[in-house]
Structure 1
Amino acid sequence: MKILCGSAGWTDKTLVACKRFYPPGCRSAEARLRFYASQFPLVEVDSSYYGMPSASNAALWAERTPDDFTFDIKAFRLLTGHQAVRASLTKDIATAIPETGKKNLYYRDIPSEVLDELWRRYRDALEPLRRAGKLGAVLFQFAPWLSCGPEGNAHVEECADRMQGYTVAVEFRNNSWLDDKNASSTLDLLRRYKLVHVIMDAPAEVTNRAHTVWEVTNPDLAFVRLHGRNADTWSPTGASTASTRFDYDYSDGELTQLSGPIRDIARQVVTTHVIFNNCREDQGQRNARTLMAILGQRG
């Protein structure tokens, strides 16, 4: 079984400020990434969700990490159905989008020719990592209001078509996709397009989340994302930052319990990625190390 563990990001302000993960004197972007990559085989880039990634940054990431290191990249928020502001786009793209009179832009607001260019630039930005053999999955975390149905299915299919040739992982946030009525058809959709189903661990008692379904849809990769189990801050309106929203420290017992189904799915695929998205201070890094020890994985 090949199981790679890591965290969502390596530069969160609370992680740096807590001074428990990075050694003294490890202050530059380069030094932090090099140190992180000496501890873990995998990381998820979350900055690419908030703004379009750049090929220059991707080239630096490839240069600063070992040959067998892997980056999972989050898709830019506009492509996943979330809202975005014009300032998150390059000036030429922003000015090519007609004024809507609203603060936020959505996918439906973008003219088709601008969308084509946006997708092209997004793919180009990933190329340095792909050429270096360090690009894992491109993670599409779809907006919580994107529900299962003709419109939602069409958008998932468009993303799959636009990203042909890449390994695409899909995380649903709307509970309609994986409920008792639609789970089977949703998983069939993912298998048809060879998309990787993201298995989510999150607070069990909240309703505004997709169900946790331990199923594999791509024989090459399984993907588990652990968001913590803090129901009080799960709603975005209840947290000012991601580190607050996903503030949760998994116990050794919880991680031991999770290791069972993780091993089970890992036996069905070539590689399994496990990402800790509990990003307050060094929670994700500590929990990832503990899980690696439980699974018998080396850093």
Structure 2
Amino acid sequence: MIYVGLTGWGDHPDVYSPGSKKTERLIDYSAHFPIVELDSSFYAVQPERNITKWINETPEGFQFVVKAYQGMTGHQRGENPFESREAMFEAFRLSVRPMKKAGKLAMVLLQFPPWFDCQKSNVEAIREIISHLGEFDLAVEFRHQSWYSPELREKTFEFLRENRLIHTVCDEPQAGDGSVPLVPVATRDDKVLMRLHGRNLHGWTNPGGGQKWREVRYLYDYNKEELAEISKAAETLQQSAENVYIIFNNNSGGHAAGDAKEFQEMNGLEFTGLSDKQLDLFDGGL
């Protein structure tokens, strides 16, 4: 089965019902898509009240891809708010467990920074994370090209398979060491993750400073030919993994929802068990 969703639910105006409140955005979102990437967990370990609210607002079969807290994956800038590394992992485990218990946790996404290259110390860093979060299904997203180099690529996949890690297949601009190729390989037979970042090469390599760099980096609208390429990759993945989770992350210009809907239509995907709220904008397809 192929599942399609977006990064977050708070910044996709095309899927909100007319007049709906800010607090109802997840309900609106879950009327259109069966999965979502929870990215607020990257910036702060979420309190139980938030997790419980999101569980209750979504249909029974809805699934969350929870992005791991930045302090775990080498992104932390400034002081870590936790007194120890163990305390950080324990807080994250307590935060995510209710979602797993409710049957709504697809996986925890470990996205590593672009400077996290393929070397022994970084392999050991992944092992250390597994020792803390092994109770969850873990997806790994590499952002340094060395993991996919001809001499290391098969060893990378072997390592992921041996540790029951889900390979995250990425579509993104090809911009040297700090980007990875689209490699449609699943390392588990039950789940694989695709994250679609767009193909804005200029924005990827020259995002600029300040708080708006993400708006530049992920500003992209996929065309039909590109969505057809992604569809072919998804079909390849489906041959070796039972469930393919696809997340559109190209939302700087509000394109993610429309591209996801177009991808859905191109592949004849229909999702049941969504929330009752519907939006007229997408009725009849795109």
TM-score, length of structure 1 as denominator length: 0.86
Corresponding residue for 2:57?
A: 64
Corresponding residue for 1:24?
A: 18
Asked if 1 retains the 8 angstrom alpha-carbon contact of 2:112 and 2:143, the reply is: yes
Q: Secondary structure at the match of 1:116?
A: helix
Asked if 2 retains the 8 angstrom alpha-carbon contact of 1:6 and 1:274, the reply is: yes
Deviation at 1:241, TM superposition (A): 3.6
Distance 2:29 2:110 in 1: 24
Asked if 2 retains the 8 angstrom alpha-carbon contact of 1:5 and 1:274, the reply is: yes
Corresponding residue for 1:284?
A: 256
Output the amino acid matched with 2:2. Answer: I
Distance 1:177 1:288 in 2: 28
1:200-215 mapped onto 2 (5 Å cutoff): 200-215=170-185
Distance 2:207 2:249 in 1: 18
Output the amino acid matched with 2:245. Answer: H
1:29-108 mapped onto 2 (5 Å cutoff): 29=23, 31-86=24-79, 89=81, 93=82, 96=83
Corresponding residue for 1:145?
A: 115
1:124-273 mapped onto 2 (5 Å cutoff): 124-235=94-205, 237-238=207-208, 240-273=212-245
Deviation at 1:236, TM superposition (A): 6.9
Distance 1:57 1:132 in 2: 14
Q: Secondary structure at the match of 1:124?
A: helix
Asked if 2 retains the 8 angstrom alpha-carbon contact of 1:138 and 1:166, the reply is: yes
Asked if 1 retains the 8 angstrom alpha-carbon contact of 2:207 and 2:214, the reply is: no
Structure 1 gap segments, 5+ residues each: 97-113
Asked if 1 retains the 8 angstrom alpha-carbon contact of 2:6 and 2:35, the reply is: yes
Can you list the C-alpha shifts for 1:29-83, whole angstroms capped at 9, x where unaligned?
2x11001001000100111111122222111110000001000000011101112
Can you list the C-alpha shifts for 1:110-157, whole angstroms capped at 9, x where unaligned?
xxxx11111011011001211110001100000111111111100111
Deviation at 1:257, TM superposition (A): 2.1
Distance 2:169 2:85 in 1: 29
Corresponding residue for 1:274?
A: 246
TM-score, length of structure 2 as denominator length: 0.89
Deviation at 1:162, TM superposition (A): 1.4
Output the amino acid matched with 2:258. Answer: R
Structure 2 gap segments, 5+ residues each: 272-286
Aligned residues: 269
Asked if 2 retains the 8 angstrom alpha-carbon contact of 1:55 and 1:127, the reply is: no
Output the amino acid matched with 2:18. Answer: P
Deviation at 1:206, TM superposition (A): 4.2
Output the amino acid matched with 2:19. Answer: G
Can you list the C-alpha shifts for 1:176-198, whole angstroms capped at 9, x where unaligned?
11111211111111001000110
Q: Report the RMSD for the aligned CA atoms in angstroms.
A: 1.6
Q: Secondary structure at the match of 1:238?
A: coil
Distance 1:66 1:282 in 2: 25
Deviation at 1:265, TM superposition (A): 0.8
Deviation at 1:281, TM superposition (A): 4.0
